[in-house]
Amino acid sequence: MRRFFLLSVFCFFFLTTYGQDVYTASTIPKEMLPYASAVVREEIVTTDIKAVDNVIYNVRRTITILNNNGDDEAEITIFHDKANSIKDIRGVVYDEFGKQISKFSTGNFQDRSAVSNYSLFEDSRIKYYQPQAVAYPYTISYEYEVRSKQSLNLHDWQPVQSTGVAVQKSSFTVIARSDFKITYKESNLTDAVTITSGEGGAKVYNWKASNIKAMRSEPYSPDPDLYRPGVKIALEKFSYGGISGTYANWSDLGKWNYDKLINGRQNLSPETIGAVKTLIAGVTDPKEKARRIYDYMQRKTHYVSIQIGIGGYQPMLASDVDRLNYGDCKALVNYMQALLKVADIESWYCAVAAGYSYKTSLLPDFASMGQANHVILCIPFANDTTWLECTSQKIPFGFLSNFTDDRNVLACTPQGGKLLHTPKYNSIANLQVRTAAFKIEGEGELSGSIETSFSGTQYENREELMEKSETERLKLVPRIYAINNLAVNKYGLTQSKTDKPLTKEVLSFSAPSYASTVEDKLIFLINAINRTGRAPAELRTRLTNLYINDGYADEDEIVYTLPADNYRSEKMPLNVSITRPFGSYNATMELKGQQLVYHRKITLLAGTYDKALYNDFVDFYRRVADADAYSAVLSKK
């Protein structure tokens, strides 16, 4: 979907000032077309900081959509709320030859909730419009203005938002009063910023980017922010929700968060204080106290999203969470802090850039509020540091998962902000170990049992089944194990929420006609339960490095009991060993009397690898897939 301009939009209609060339598809330089589904012809983005509570965002943009893969880039989505008002939106759609097809304005936009699928309380809304393509290529040119009453979160500039989009020309201008200090972080830019004087002595910062070729989507590529051009900006002196502040670094920003948004919001009722004291009575170990309090918090509360006014950053009162039994990530962390205070346990409220796709760290050399999207809790015990995810009622004490692991976070303390790093789950510790005992009857029927343990980040592999009834589980398990006509007889799932969390799965099953019987031969797929999927596509020219976000290790052992003890293999027995910088794979089979024993182990190591290794990675996957598809062909001696 076309970028979300958080807050946005612009009312002066200057489309006629554009050169006619930007509306005509044939004038796009040929070198901009490879891999492109859309081409930004011209974009002018302006941030005018008139006061800490008066920021005007202007956007003018012309983009040519070359085919249906680029239609999402024509979407216009603009956020607004009580602090951010849209003044005007106007635009024109042109055909391939630059002839006007239609016009649109504010009245053509849908207005709807921005986060209603996730938020119980929210005032964030979006205005949305999708031009209808008659034929390709077509060009859309529009402009808009948004006026914001806050300056804590200033819009960043990223001229390339998506794969398949080329940019002919884009500029970003920031205008600020001479007494306002702007900090900025540039990434992957060819041209340096120019700083000039404007009206009334204002400082004018200007960045430009041009002739950026489109990039195709590449499997296993790193965070686009690492290679796309862009600028992040922040205002040292700011206002948010009527609360003013100043920051030049993470220490300042963390202290402002604590002083202005958190402090004084952790009072609890005498009844709750008494309940916590009773809960930890007789316990001397601080960590055990925290564990009991965390369990209490999980059982008492549940997560909702809150996006009203300053609630986007400020937690609810702990007393309100205690009374209502719900809160968002900020509120639940604040509540957990309040409960820990009853036990005299220090903890830190931590802002983090959460996400499963990348390990996104807060930038050490550039502080800004908009880098984080979630809050977790840090408990700095004397002998170790424990991290808590407070939005889940099921996650174990001290377990973060790959949603927030291995990244820089901001701890907001009374002394100021501290950049900390969350624990990294070692690839080989993200372990799945499976043992299976199978029996094949003379007509090819298969029956047996499977026992699997999941640890590290794989602990959550069966989370969706944990709350299901036994009947529902029996229906869902055949989707996990790719055995034709699988009938699950018994299924069990347990979790051990210790310092090293472990999930255990046990099942017994039967499956008719698993093995084929041809004359005196027995033919069956040896890896019945954990086969690798399709390999990623090979790329002749790779542009980005190879990135593996989450590593893991899977170990499987299947012992097949055969119909008789006089079988021999008509094929070369499976014996594959592959080692690469990014992982390894081993698979073997061995006939032992009436048993066939299959061993398999695959390890994938998280990390960033040179792009030259990508096709080697594809080859690794293909060889693994081939080995996983090995069929045993056994005949009687």
Model pLDDT for residues 271-325, shown as the tens digit of each residue = 999 999 999 999 999 999 999 999 999 999 999 877 544 557 899 999 999 999 9
Give the pLDDT of residue 113: 76
Give the pLDDT of residue 566: 85
Residue 365, pLDDT > 70, answer yes
- Strands 374-380 and 348-352 turn out to be antiparallel
Q: CA-CA distance, 499 to 381, in Å (whole number)?
A: 15
Q: Which part of the chain has CATH 2.60.40.3140? A: 4-234
* From 7-21, 222-236, 519-533, the region with the lowest mean pLDDT: 7-21
* DSSP summary character for residue 154: P
Model pLDDT for residues 567-623, shown as the tens digit of each residue = 999 999 999 999 999 999 999 999 999 999 999 999 999 999 999 999 999 999 999
* From 91-95, 172-176, 467-471, the region with the lowest mean pLDDT: 467-471
Q: Which part of the chain has CATH 2.60.120.1130? A: 428-636
- Span 33-40, average pLDDT: 98
Compute the half-sphere exposure of residue 506: CA atoms within 13 Å on the CB side of its CA: 5
Give the pLDDT of residue 124: 75
- Span 70-99, average pLDDT: 93
Q: Which residues pair with 196 in a beta bridge?
A: 204
3-state secondary structure 523-537: EEECCCCCCCCCCCC
Give the pLDDT of residue 17: 43
- Span 107-127, average pLDDT: 70
Three-state DSSP state, 512: coil
Give the pLDDT of residue 136: 97
Residue 20, pLDDT > 70, answer no
Residue 453, pLDDT > 80, answer yes
Give the pLDDT of residue 123: 67
Tokens describing residue 565? 């003890």
Residue 360 pLDDT level (bands cut at 50, 70, 90) = very high
Give the pLDDT of residue 125: 82
- Span 436-452, average pLDDT: 96
Model pLDDT for residues 545-554, shown as the tens digit of each residue = 999 999 999 9
Give the pLDDT of residue 528: 92
Percent of the chain exceeding pLDDT 70 equals: 94
Residue 5 pLDDT level (bands cut at 50, 70, 90) = very low
Give the pLDDT of residue 533: 87
- Contacts for 291 with CB less than 8 Å, ≥ 6 apart: 397
Q: CA-CA distance, 388 to 376, in Å (whole number)?
A: 6
Model pLDDT for residues 25-34, shown as the tens digit of each residue = 999 999 999 9
User: 333 with 143: CB under 8 angstroms?
Assistant: no
Q: CA-CA distance, 441 to 513, in Å (whole number)?
A: 9
Residue 450, pLDDT > 90, answer yes
428-636 CATH, one of 2.60.120.620, 2.40.50.420, 2.60.120.1130, 3.90.1150.10: 2.60.120.1130
Give the pLDDT of residue 118: 47
Q: CA-CA distance, 516 to 456, in Å (whole number)?
A: 38
Give the pLDDT of residue 122: 53
- Span 528-532, average pLDDT: 94
Label residue 9 left, alpha or beta by phi (over 0 means left) and psi (-120 to 50 means alpha): left
Neighbour-count burial of 107, counting CB atoms closer than 10 A to its CB (0-12 exposed, 13-18 middle, 19+ buried): exposed
Q: State which fold the 4-234 domain adopts.
A: Immunoglobulin-like (2.60.40)
Spatial CA neighbour of 11 closest among 144, 146, 148, 127: 144
Spatial CA neighbour of 363 closest among 231, 257, 262: 231
Give the pLDDT of residue 289: 98
- Contacts for 132 with CB less than 8 Å, ≥ 6 apart: none
The chain-wide mean pLDDT, for the chain, equals 93
Q: What pTM does this model have?
A: 0.91
Q: CA-CA distance, 366 to 337, in Å (whole number)?
A: 27
Tokens describing residue 336? 């957990």
Give the pLDDT of residue 34: 97
Helix (H) or strand (E) holding 477: helix 470-480
Give the pLDDT of residue 133: 79
**Burial profile 616-635: b = 16 or more Cβ within 10 angstroms, e = fewer:** ebbebbebbeebbebebebe
Percent of the chain exceeding pLDDT 90 equals: 86
Label residue 485 left, alpha or beta by phi (over 0 means left) and psi (-120 to 50 means alpha): left
- Span 617-634, average pLDDT: 97
Q: Which CATH number describes the domain made up of 250-421?
A: 3.10.620.30
- Distance (Å) of CA 553 to CA 455, 607, 616, 618: 10, 14, 19, 18
